[in-house]
Structure 1
Amino acid sequence: MFDSPLRRGLTGVLTAFWLWLSVLGVQGQGDVNLDEGVLSHNMEAVAFIPIADMLTEKVNDIASWYDEEDDITYLLVGCENGTALFRMLPGARPIFMGKLPTQSVTSLWRDIKVVHGHAYIVSEAPAHGMQVMDLEALRAWSPLDGPVTWVPDTVVSTPSTAHNVVAFEEASKVIQVGTSAMGGGAVIFDLSEPSAPSLIGGVSEWGSLHDAQALIYNGPDAAHVGKEILFAAGGESLWIFDITDASDVHLIGTSTYTNPHFSHQVWVSDTHDHAFLGDELDETSAGGATRTVVFDLTDLDHPHEVDVHVAETTASDHNQYTHGEWLFQSNYRAGLRMLSDAWPQPNVLTERGFFDPLEESFGPGFQGAWSHVICEEEGVLAFTSINEGLWVVRPRFARLDNVAISLCEPGTIPTPNVWSMTLKVEEGWSFPIEVQVEGVVMTTEQDNGWTVTEPGSTLLYFEAWGLPGVQPSVKLTSQRSTWSLNMLTPDALWFAHYEDADGDGFGNPNMPVWGCGDLPGTSTLPLDCQDWNANTYPQAPELCDGWNNDCDDEVDEGTAQLVWYADSDGDGFGNPNAPVVLSCTPLNERVLTPGDCNDSEATMYPGAPALEDGMDNNCDGIIADLEINPCPGDFDLDGNRTINDMLQLLSNFGCESGCSSSMDNQDTVDTADLLVWLGVFGLDCD
């Protein structure tokens, strides 16, 4: 969808470049205390992208795509004026890739879902439709390209607006809700061809639906196992539809709940036996604390309220999603909240942590956290804060700390180590938890697995060879979820250096040296294309020297052009009065030095020796001393004034400057010169 010359020839070193970025931090975050000015418990900031960096005034929804082929996570952030795209660098640091602009006008409401590597984007902006983008196009982007403008592959024009879009990857479908069609109900699209969604049915009889989740049901109600079920929030109720046949959707069951105001969003537990529903307006309309209504789903025909979790804040709730035993909520002014339904009592919600960037505002209202995504590979969550920007946070329901002696001395190459780590698991998990250490090569087989049976600390002791550039990490697999942890000990970080022979600060990508801290004569930037030339490195200024200074496979492009003068006589000096040519490379019969007073005489140029030929050999404007011809009019210097000399004068007749046949020292050749020459014709030169 775009091209960049900076990218060409550099793709082989980008992995190391990303590693360097993760070490130093992205966009100036490396030395910033991101947790300052926020309230948090069991969650810590990893990265923050201010809203201004996304070229918008407000953000809304967020989605993610994990590219298994390249092992990279991408974030898609809804903005008033489009969708901002980010690539996660190592260390869970997002880097801005540019924007996919809105299809029509700006709108606070934009929703994004990803199915089969394609993004489906809807909005309440008039005539927006549904944008479809094949996310494999993101692979071609390089951090050296900078932010670019992206375009959709397809736009589905009907419905023209929608409040939300639901991903149903298991069935290769997306479902729009709150649309301009079907009375605001659901509109179902088949994704057999992901870039060409096909409308196959919908729901219109039960009014507008605000948000929904679609899944293939595998819960306790045997009558509906294996069916395609849509759980929807709308009006003042929970709605459950059978959408197995999109052309014949029918309602299975519905239920209201205590003190309803606006049923905003619902999400089902991973066991499909409970649903968690948020009412967006009960806090502003009726007051009181933030509520999460819990529904029993053992009988889908008769869902019913079984519990209400009441938080310690009074913030309005917005979007919530489960990950195994964990329920994460984006609750506007209360920020991102982390709850568990597994410990100490199953199916009873208990708050375990939170991250609130609006530290002094807990009340109802519509500022703060809008939505979030779980990035499993990085072990982090990314969430949007409407007026602030994009946050990446790491939940600390489990901690991994190095208790061994320093794994790597600064300025040295790593050696094999015996490692010890302490794993501390907080309450909230379902047990037992299987522990697997990754990112290292064990010296013995079968020695990198443990089992944790209850909350508390576990010592992990093992012998291993460290892999350069890779930190040890731990993957926790409970009965219901998997989460990755990284050891955050700075002195455990090994990373690649690259030989920097020319000292320009950029290393040779073909000459890696693995080590810790600063290694003399090396660089952590493996981007030099000519390590013997200190004037060549990425983004170096082009010097018009015939070299590819900025390592983009182009020579002398975009530089200030040099002025080339005509040099017809080949004496190395150009005619200052002839038309010039601008170029950054040498040109035939042209030179960079002007000053030739006669470009048809190779013996006339600044500094030329005097030849006693009556010409201004050194171009100083006078004919003097040894330049004086002892026999004026003898232009061929044969010692006689002959017809040949007259013919040479006539050939220069009309010359107005720099004239070699002038007889009266006026530097011109006219009638006066001809008369003077005729006056000496036939006279002996002696």
Structure 2
Amino acid sequence: MRAILATAAIALLTAAVVGAPQAWAHEQAFDQVSPPTMEERQTELQAAPSGTAKCVNGLAAGTYACDGIDMLDHLWLEDLGLSFANDMWGWTDPATQKDYAIIGGTEGTVFVDISNPTDATVVGMLPAHVLDPNRPFWRDIKVYGNHAFVVSEQIPHGMQVFDLTRLRTETGTFTEDAHYPGFANAHNLNINPGTGLAYVVGTNTCAGGLHMVDVSAPESPTFAGCFSEHGYIHDTQCVVYSGPDADYAGREICFNSNAASDGNFVSIVDVTDKSAPVPIARMPYAESGYSHQGWLTPNQRYFLHGDELDELDHGINTRTRIWDMADLDNPQHIGTFDNDTTSIDHNIYTERRLAYASNYTSGLRVYHTGKIGEGTLKEVAYFDVYPENDNPSFEGGTWSNYGWFKRDVIGVSTMDRGLFVLKLRN
């Protein structure tokens, strides 16, 4: 199988981000990319391996640098029906126990059955609600109540709702089951499974802050509230709080990567009352570039945070900041973990005592959090999906990952090489 990185799509993205509004201003660095020619990419990718490959002597299939992670399967962009891939999420069918990877891309959202992890199979695609050639085409997906919710920077995309149980009996090109038009465009969303509230960020509403949507009845989403006081929020995680700060026990709290016009922050907001959200804290940090994304540890004590432009702006190695959230009114930045690579970090998620980081050109990196209280992490495994280099650039590599599948595998989405299905040893 072969795949083609659509240079035309990259050129479109490059043109779109020049002079872009703040909702995706951080992606202006794509303008620095000089992608290979179509012929160069075809030659390279036709020779590259697919399928199952163990990590042997630091390489999988003689191509991908690795340590402690095997490749179970790989679907190229062409297999997915996409010209460019970006974010991903996952779903395990509660009735059939099948695992599905959900991949966002230029043309829409692709559903892949990975129940047999060595034989990933595309089930179908939900096309974009609208394809706007003048806007970036990345999209973000989250799942609640056996439904997928999809947002995009395109206008007027709004939020698509798709009933995932249809994957049991249907294949091919799907239609959306519902649509929420309360905003024209969005960069991202998070859904709190404990409350059925979606928190959409980077929209053309709420000053780019938290646009709250009640999705507890998934096919009847309704506006619930707005938080604009901190300005533009690039990503968020909202939880029913059960962490160490007793003052906020049982409250609904959002932990935000806040890249605003007045600086870069980690901000915390109490959104229990959707009509009157209460800001709790807003913390700046040194050597910032663009506050991008973060995720709590399972006990909600620590927040792992990434800045998407600090590697470019400050010449540092791949950096993850560690915040102690024992006191939500006064969170403390207790340390930074600088990996031995130079790539830009993008999305990080935690599961048990591990953190799975998608770092563009250096691939999936797995960190152990055993010494997180000391302000440090330890890399224990990796799989480099972009063997060309580890440049601090947006030229290729992994956008995101999902590690909560029933079968204990890790899905990794990449901009230029599609979907990897990986397995962490031990």
Among residues 215, 221, 238, which one is paired with 2:239 in the alignment? Answer: 215
- Asked if 1:45 corresponds to 2:71, the answer is yes
- Does the 8 Å CA contact 1:280/1:317 hold for their aligned counterparts? yes
**CA deviation after TM superposition for structure 1 residue 360, in Å:** 3.3
- Does the 8 Å CA contact 1:381/1:394 hold for their aligned counterparts? yes
- Asked if 1:81 corresponds to 2:107, the answer is yes
**CA deviation after TM superposition for structure 1 residue 92, in Å:** 5.1
State how far apart, in whole Å, the 2-side matches of 1:185 and 1:257 are. Answer: 20
Corresponding residue number in structure 2 for 1:11: none
Q: Write out aligned runs for 1:110-149 (5 A).
A: 110-141=139-170, 148-149=172-173
State how far apart, in whole Å, the 2-side matches of 1:222 and 1:192 are. Answer: 27
- Does the 8 Å CA contact 1:203/1:249 hold for their aligned counterparts? yes
Among residues 321, 343, 355, which one is paired with 1:315 in the alignment? Answer: 343
- Does the 8 Å CA contact 1:73/1:375 hold for their aligned counterparts? no
State how far apart, in whole Å, the 2-side matches of 1:273 and 1:345 are. Answer: 9
State how far apart, in whole Å, the 1-side matches of 2:208 and 2:325 are. Answer: 25
- Asked if 1:386 corresponds to 2:415, the answer is yes
Corresponding residue number in structure 2 for 1:237: 265
Instruction: Give, as a single letter, the amino acid of the residue that structure 2 aligns with 1:80.
Output: T
- Does the 8 Å CA contact 1:341/1:347 hold for their aligned counterparts? no
Among residues 334, 357, 379, which one is paired with 2:385 in the alignment? Answer: 357
- Does the 8 Å CA contact 1:60/1:108 hold for their aligned counterparts? no
SS of the aligned residue for 1:359 comes to: coil
- Asked if 1:327 corresponds to 2:355, the answer is yes
**Identity, % of aligned positions:** 32
**CA deviation after TM superposition for structure 1 residue 364, in Å:** 0.3
SS of the aligned residue for 1:223 comes to: helix
Corresponding residue number in structure 2 for 1:99: 125
Corresponding residue number in structure 2 for 1:168: 192
Among residues 96, 100, 117, which one is paired with 1:70 in the alignment? Answer: 96
Listed as ranges, the gaps of 5+ residues in structure 2 are 1-48
Task: Pick closer, same or farther for the CA change 1:151–1:306 going to 2, 3 Å.
Answer: same
**CA deviation after TM superposition for structure 1 residue 64, in Å:** 0.7
SS of the aligned residue for 1:305 comes to: strand
Among residues 74, 82, 85, which one is paired with 1:56 in the alignment? Answer: 82
**CA deviation after TM superposition for structure 1 residue 348, in Å:** 2.7
**CA deviation after TM superposition for structure 1 residue 257, in Å:** 1.3
Corresponding residue number in structure 1 for 2:205: 181
SS of the aligned residue for 2:202 comes to: strand
SS of the aligned residue for 1:382 comes to: strand
Task: Pick closer, same or farther for the CA change 1:95–1:305 going to 2, 3 Å.
Answer: same
Instruction: Give, as a single letter, the amino acid of the residue that structure 2 aligns with 1:127.
Output: P
Instruction: Give, as a single letter, the amino acid of the residue that structure 2 aligns with 1:132.
Output: V
Normalized against structure 2, the TM-score is what?
0.83
The higher-RCO structure (CA 8 Å, 6+ apart) is 2
**CA deviation after TM superposition for structure 1 residue 49, in Å:** 0.1
Which protein shows a greater Rg? 1
- Does the 8 Å CA contact 2:90/2:405 hold for their aligned counterparts? no
Corresponding residue number in structure 1 for 2:327: 299
Q: Write out aligned runs for 1:555-566 (5 A).
A: none
**CA deviation after TM superposition for structure 1 residue 108, in Å:** 3.0
**CA deviation after TM superposition for structure 1 residue 36, in Å:** 2.8
Corresponding residue number in structure 1 for 2:10: none
- Does the 8 Å CA contact 2:317/2:340 hold for their aligned counterparts? yes
Aligned length: 366
SS of the aligned residue for 1:202 comes to: strand
State how far apart, in whole Å, the 1-side matches of 2:118 and 2:374 are. Answer: 32
- Offset from partner CA, 1:646-680 (integer Å, 9 cap, x none): xxxxxxxxxxxxxxxxxxxxxxxxxxxxxxxxxxx
SS of the aligned residue for 1:52 comes to: helix
State how far apart, in whole Å, the 2-side matches of 1:357 and 1:114 are. Answer: 26
- Does the 8 Å CA contact 2:195/2:216 hold for their aligned counterparts? no
SS of the aligned residue for 1:357 comes to: coil
- Does the 8 Å CA contact 1:85/1:98 hold for their aligned counterparts? yes
SS of the aligned residue for 2:311 comes to: helix
Instruction: Give, as a single letter, the amino acid of the residue that structure 1 aligns with 2:63.
Output: G
State how far apart, in whole Å, the 1-side matches of 2:371 and 2:227 are. Answer: 38
State how far apart, in whole Å, the 2-side matches of 1:170 and 1:30 are. Answer: 37
Among residues 284, 297, 305, which one is paired with 1:256 in the alignment? Answer: 284
State how far apart, in whole Å, the 1-side matches of 2:52 and 2:323 are. Answer: 44
Instruction: Give, as a single letter, the amino acid of the residue that structure 2 aligns with 1:371.
Output: S
Instruction: Give, as a single letter, the amino acid of the residue that structure 1 aligns with 2:417.
Output: E
SS of the aligned residue for 1:333 comes to: helix
The Cα RMSD (Å) is: 1.9
**CA deviation after TM superposition for structure 1 residue 138, in Å:** 0.9
Task: Pick closer, same or farther for the CA change 1:46–1:304 going to 2, 3 Å.
Answer: same
State how far apart, in whole Å, the 1-side matches of 2:73 and 2:92 are. Answer: 18
State how far apart, in whole Å, the 2-side matches of 1:322 and 1:306 are. Answer: 18
Q: Write out aligned runs for 1:346-495 (5 A).
A: 348-366=376-394, 367-396=396-425, 398=426
State how far apart, in whole Å, the 1-side matches of 2:317 and 2:154 are. Answer: 33
- Does the 8 Å CA contact 2:50/2:74 hold for their aligned counterparts? no
- Offset from partner CA, 1:540-579 (integer Å, 9 cap, x none): xxxxxxxxxxxxxxxxxxxxxxxxxxxxxxxxxxxxxxxx
Task: Pick closer, same or farther for the CA change 1:81–1:264 going to 2, 3 Å.
Answer: same
Q: Write out aligned runs for 1:576-595 (5 A).
A: none
Corresponding residue number in structure 2 for 1:29: 51
SS of the aligned residue for 2:51 comes to: coil
- Does the 8 Å CA contact 1:35/1:44 hold for their aligned counterparts? no
Corresponding residue number in structure 2 for 1:596: none
State how far apart, in whole Å, the 1-side matches of 2:50 and 2:411 are. Answer: 19
Listed as ranges, the gaps of 5+ residues in structure 1 are 1-26, 142-146, 399-686
**CA deviation after TM superposition for structure 1 residue 35, in Å:** 3.2
SS of the aligned residue for 1:183 comes to: helix
- Does the 8 Å CA contact 1:173/1:191 hold for their aligned counterparts? yes
Task: Pick closer, same or farther for the CA change 1:310–1:119 going to 2, 3 Å.
Answer: same
- Asked if 1:153 corresponds to 2:181, the answer is no
State how far apart, in whole Å, the 2-side matches of 1:324 and 1:393 are. Answer: 18
Instruction: Give, as a single letter, the amino acid of the residue that structure 1 aligns with 2:234.
Output: H
SS of the aligned residue for 1:155 comes to: strand
Corresponding residue number in structure 1 for 2:309: 281
**CA deviation after TM superposition for structure 1 residue 343, in Å:** 5.7
- Does the 8 Å CA contact 1:325/1:340 hold for their aligned counterparts? yes
Corresponding residue number in structure 2 for 1:484: none
Bigger CA drift: 371-380 or 110-119? 371-380
- Does the 8 Å CA contact 2:146/2:164 hold for their aligned counterparts? yes
State how far apart, in whole Å, the 1-side matches of 2:118 and 2:212 are. Answer: 34
SS of the aligned residue for 1:248 comes to: coil
Flag the structure with higher strand content: 2
**CA deviation after TM superposition for structure 1 residue 28, in Å:** 8.1
Instruction: Give, as a single letter, the amino acid of the residue that structure 2 aligns with 1:197.
Output: P
State how far apart, in whole Å, the 2-side matches of 1:382 and 1:156 are. Answer: 28
Task: Pick closer, same or farther for the CA change 1:30–1:241 going to 2, 3 Å.
Answer: closer
Task: Pick closer, same or farther for the CA change 1:56–1:91 going to 2, 3 Å.
Answer: closer
Task: Pick closer, same or farther for the CA change 1:302–1:345 going to 2, 3 Å.
Answer: closer
**CA deviation after TM superposition for structure 1 residue 97, in Å:** 1.1
